[in-house]
């Protein structure tokens, strides 16, 4: 079984490096990358994702959560399981709307400061290497692309699609996530009562800050549906 890893807002797929090392080879995990210099909507990005011809699983992180839900719904006859990590079904926080309205593309003309990466994404104990990896990934994407993705986050709503989905789903949250409201999980549970959830002691970038622990949770869940 193949497993598609859909990336966070940077869209590069590079931040899955540690997770890929931790995941068992039986999952045949592959990181998806989005165009770094084309300002595409969620609709357009959905059409760009190449899916395996055989049964597969999806792990969707943060920005890609809505894409993972829509992709699983489109291919639910072949998608064995869906894992959603630190993500949302509608605008997750007022911060996104405020930043988008006030700063727009100017927000991404410089790399994010190390202090901001630690405060909002990786936690205060993150190593310098971890912080630089995030800064480099974000910095490699055109400001107009990042700005468009922020606007997509503000406008998105996939609650209906999630309610229609009949694929086994796991929702992973970070207990120290400062970007995505914990109310998201409550809303999701109202739509999909059978949905499973796990909370890890982690900041927003769960898969980067807690790669080994997250990989173990993901592997155990996908093993139940991969055969």
List, for residues 203-221, the tens digit of each pLDDT value.
Answer: 999 999 999 999 999 999 9
Query: Would you state the pLDDT for residue 181?
Result: 83
Q: How far apart are CA 217 and CA 221, in angstroms?
A: 6
Strands 56-61, 29-31: pairing kind: unpaired
Which regions of the chain are under pLDDT 50?
A: 101
Query: Would you state the pLDDT for residue 106?
Result: 61
Q: How far apart are CA 162 and CA 190, in angstroms?
A: 11
Number of domains in the chain: 1
**Residues in Cβ contact with 107 at an 8 Å cutoff, skipping those fewer than 6 apart:** 99, 143, 146, 147, 150
Check residue 98 and give left, alpha or beta (phi > 0: left; psi -120 to 50: alpha).
Answer: alpha
Question: Does residue 195 sit in helix, strand or coil?
Answer: coil
Q: How far apart are CA 112 and CA 71, in angstroms?
A: 30
Query: Would you state the pLDDT for residue 101?
Result: 47
Question: Cβ of 171: how many Cβ atoms within 10 Å?
Answer: 21
Check residue 96 and give left, alpha or beta (phi > 0: left; psi -120 to 50: alpha).
Answer: alpha
Please, how many CA atoms are within 13 Å of residue 84, restricted to the half-sphere of its CB?
A: 26
Q: Give pTM, 2 decimals.
A: 0.94
Nearest to 61 by CA among 91, 23, 97, 31: 31
Nearest to 59 by CA among 224, 175, 214, 179: 214
Q: How far apart are CA 170 and CA 102, in angstroms?
A: 35
The residue range of the domain holding 75 is: 2-223
Query: Would you state the pLDDT for residue 154?
Result: 87
CATH number where 24 lies: 3.40.50.1820
């Amino acid at each position: 079984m193949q497993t598609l890893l859909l990336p966070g807002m940077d869209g590069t797929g590079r931040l899955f490096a540690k997770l890929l090392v931790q995941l068992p080879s039986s999952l045949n995990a592959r990181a998806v990358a989005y165009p770094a210099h084309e300002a595409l909507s969620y609709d357009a990005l959905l059409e760009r994702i190449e899916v395996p011809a055989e049964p597969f699983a999806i792990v969707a992180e943060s920005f890609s959560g809505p894409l993972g839900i829509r992709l699983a719904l489109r291919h639910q006859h072949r998608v064995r399981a869906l894992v959603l990590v630190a993500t949302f079904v509608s605008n997750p926080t007022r911060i996104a709307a405020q930043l988008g309205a006030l700063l727009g593309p100017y927000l991404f003309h410089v790399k994010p400061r190390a202090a901001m990466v630690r405060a909002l994404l990786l936690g205060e104990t993150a190593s310098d290497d971890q912080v630089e990896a995030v800064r480099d990934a974000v910095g490699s994407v055109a400001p107009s692309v990042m700005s468009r993705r922020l606007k997509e986050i503000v406008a998105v709503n996939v609650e209906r699609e999630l309610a229609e989905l009949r694929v086994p789903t796991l929702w992973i949250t970070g207990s120290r996530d400062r970007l995505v409201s914990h109310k998201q999980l409550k809303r999701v549970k109202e739509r999909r009562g059978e949905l499973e959830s796990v909370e890890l002691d982690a900041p927003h970038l769960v898969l980067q800050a807690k790669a080994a622990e997250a990989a173990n949770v993901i592997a155990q869940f996908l093993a139940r549906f991969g055969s």
